[in-house]
């Protein structure tokens, strides 16, 4: 049986820049490759002039981040178009506005690579790097993609102290990646809930990691009020403070 591309390529990456470059070349999941490229061909009318990214999307943020935010997967006309996590769609608008409000981003909007946005001590990533049909990757696609997230977390280990996971799918996907990257996940596994907080010890005796649960920033949650800006900011502030990052507010 052939070893999937992520399992072969991810462990050899020695820096996040090298990992990101390898991620962008991945074609391991035929269904996702077809979908991301079809979205780029058909486009949305509003983005008819865009040259879509149409590749796997790497993580975004500094290599010495103390806080990671883990989502689900790129949106077909969001990150699959722009090439940057949570960039170019309503979910990203909600997330980056909150990051700016608590002092973790340089600006409240994220529209395209090169728009000047910087994150302060934060890296944003996902367990699945290609846009899936109906925003629903299969379990096999999730598991095939996992080595990318595992190696990303492993490379972040020297500085990483907090992880905010957006949604139950991401929560279930990140736990085995954290275990593979060197943290001890309790058994039974901690359950996802908005506001959940779980401390994971490092298997080698290093610094522990605190895992925070937060409802996903999907339109389904934000438009209905299930997740409000205040709720998101509260989780981000708690995670930032735990990570040793200054969390403030903009007037």
Tens of pLDDT along 100-129? 999 999 999 999 999 999 999 999 999 999
Q: How confident is the model at residue 1 (pLDDT cuts 50, 70, 90)?
A: low
Q: What is the pLDDT at residue 248?
A: 79
248 against 162, higher pLDDT: 162
Handedness of CA 149, 150, 154, 160 (dihedral sign): positive
190's CB contacts (< 8 A; 6+ apart) are: 175, 196, 198, 211
β-bridge mates for residue 200, sequence order? 209
Q: Are 248 and 71 in contact (CB under 8 A)?
A: no
pLDDT tens digits along 128-182:
999 999 999 999 999 999 999 999 999 999 999 999 999 999 999 999 999 999 9
The Cα–Cα gap between 143 and 155 comes to 19
Residue-level pLDDT at 159: 98
Instruction: Provide the token pair at 65.
Output: 């981040």
Q: For residue 247, what pLDDT band results from cuts at 50, 70 and 90?
A: confident
Indicate whether 251 pLDDT > 50: no
**What is the sign, positive or negative, of the torsion defined by CA atoms of 143, 113, 80, 193?**
positive
- The reported pLDDT for the residue numbered 181 is 97
Q: Which of 170, 176, 171 is nearest to 128 (CA)?
A: 170
pTM above 0.85, yes or no: yes
Phi, psi of 198 (to 5 degrees): -135, 135
pLDDT of residue 249: 57
pLDDT tens for each residue of 15-63? 999 999 999 999 999 999 999 999 999 999 999 999 999 999 999 999 9
pLDDT at 226 over 60: yes
Average pLDDT of span 180-189? 96
- What pLDDT does 141 receive? 97
């Amino acid at each position: 049986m052939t070893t999937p591309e992520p399992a072969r390529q991810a462990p050899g990456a020695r820096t996040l820049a090298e990992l990101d470059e390898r991620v962008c070349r991945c074609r391991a999941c035929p269904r996702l490759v077809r979908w991301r490229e079809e979205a780029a061909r058909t486009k949305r009318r509003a983005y008819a002039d865009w040259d879509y990214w149409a590749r796997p999307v790497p993580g975004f943020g500094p290599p010495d981040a103390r806080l990671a935010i883990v989502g689900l997967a790129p949106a077909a006309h969001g990150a699959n178009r722009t090439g940057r996590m949570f960039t170019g769609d309503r979910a990203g608008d909600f997330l980056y506005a909150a990051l700016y409000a608590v002092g973790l981003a340089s600006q409240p909007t994220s529209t395209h690579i090169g728009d000047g946005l910087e994150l302060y001590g934060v890296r944003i990533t996902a367990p699945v790097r290609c846009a899936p049909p109906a925003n629903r990757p299969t379990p096999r696609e999730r598991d095939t993609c996992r080595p990318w997230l595992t190696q990303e977390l492993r490379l972040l280990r020297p500085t990483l102290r907090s992880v905010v996971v957006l949604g139950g799918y991401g929560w279930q996907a990140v736990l085995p990646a954290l275990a593979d990257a060197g943290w001890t996940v309790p058994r039974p596994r901690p359950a996802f809930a908005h506001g959940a907080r779980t401390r994971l010890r490092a298997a080698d005796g290093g610094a522990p990691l605190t895992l925070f649960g937060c409802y996903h920033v999907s339109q389904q949650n934000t438009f209905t009020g299930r997740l409000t800006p205040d709720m998101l900011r509260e989780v981000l502030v708690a995670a930032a403070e735990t990570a040793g990052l200054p969390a403030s507010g903009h007037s």
